[in-house]
Structure 1
Amino acid sequence: MPDRVFFACGACHILAYAFLEQHGEKGWQAVWIKPAAGHTGNHIFATDGVRAFDYHGVCDRGRLLSHYWRRARLHHPGWDATLETLDAEILIAGPASRQIDGLWLRGPSEYFQDALPRARAFLDRFPALAAL
């Protein structure tokens, strides 16, 4: 499976964690798009409140959220969600993430191969990150 697809379809939290390892001290944090009751469509990205980073790269936070809401509602009319800040460590905690209502994340080692080295390598594809 190509890396972009891997981080778009279930391992976004691992990518967010790898990003925060490098940029968390610069005011970036993890945000969970938590679907409203009865809906699906989780996503976790990193943000500094203005910009956002996920498998697409860095973009305007509002643009990412607008795109996500528009796409979700296209496929699921009435879809809605809230935004919740998460501690970086919960992103790789696997079973401990299930203590948070609605969150169910795999730890890096729960993937076929440890997903964390793959996420760190994927970040290298975005040379503009060095300027953050």
Structure 2
Amino acid sequence: MYVLKHGIKKNPERFWALPDRVFFGYGACPILTGTFLRHPPMDGFYGERIIPGEGFSGNHLYVTNGVIAFDYHGYSSRERLLEHHRRVWASHSAGWHCTLERVDFDLLDTTELNRRKMRGPDQYLHDPVPRAVRYLQRIDHAEAAARASKVAMRLKPLTKLAKAGPQ
């Protein structure tokens, strides 16, 4: 998780100039997730969303197959990703909590994203989808997913991040 200097996210030039990992980790996660799902490098994944409780920040989107997950960090166990996210946001805001929701909308559709207070692809300085495609192409998905699966199999569930998970 990255914390940007005030105003960067609202400045299209400065936001676009961020390194890919920061760009997709701090605001453009719907684009990375939507691009993964539109051009899946691996089968069996679906989008999942962390929705912070009322009055809290910390919205995040990633793909998962229920055991492992992929976001701007790369592949990890789903439990580890969720625990990391909870720990970081709880350290910033006492009482931080969230729910998890399986994504049932097009993550590359501006109208759908705006309804959920996220930017659509046409609301960036340039088209972020080709940038996400290039980011995804740099990864050996099979190898990285296999490593994350081995770790996930050794871990016990670390936490109950959300009040209710996807059904």
Structure 1 length-normalised TM: 0.88
* 3-state DSSP of counterpart to 1:32: strand
What letter matches 1:112 in structure 2? L
Alpha-carbon distance, 1:23 to partner: 2.6
Distance 1:88 1:122 in 2: 23
Tell which structure's C-alpha radius of gyration is larger: 2
Q: Work out the CA distance in 2 between the residues paired with 1:11 and 1:26.
A: 22
- The alignment covers a number of residue pairs equal to 127
User: As a proportion of its length, which structure holds more strand?
Assistant: 1
- Residues 56-65 or 24-33, more deviating: 24-33
Stretches of 4+ aligned residues off by more than 6 angstroms: none
Identity among equivalent positions (%) equals 43
Alignment pair present for 1:105 and 2:121 = no
2:72 pairs with one of 55, 62, 66: 55
Q: Which residue of 1 aligns with 2:111?
A: 95
Give the Å deviation of 1:24.
7.9
Report Cα offsets for 1:4-31 as digits up to 9, x if no partner. Answer: 0100110001001111123387221111
**3-state secondary structure, aligned to 2:40:** helix
What is the aligned-residue RMSD (CA, Å)? 1.7
TM-score, normalised to structure 2, is: 0.71
- Mind listing any 5+ residue stretches in structure 2 that lack a counterpart? 1-17, 146-167
- For residues 25 and 44 of structure 1, the distance between their equivalents in structure 2, rounded to whole angstroms, comes to 17
Whether 1:124 aligns to 2:137 is yes
**For the residues of structure 2 that align with 1:122 and 1:88, how far apart are their CA atoms?**
23
Relative to its length, the structure with more helix (as a share) is: 1
Alpha-carbon distance in structure 1 between the residues aligned to 2:109 and 2:41: 17
Q: 2:99 aligns with which of 64, 82, 85?
A: 82
Cα deviation digits, residues 59-78 of structure 1 (max 9, x gap)? 00000000000000011111
1:116 maps to amino acid: V
Look up the equivalent residue of 1:11 and give its one-letter code.
A
| Structure 1 spans left out of the alignment, 5+ residues | none
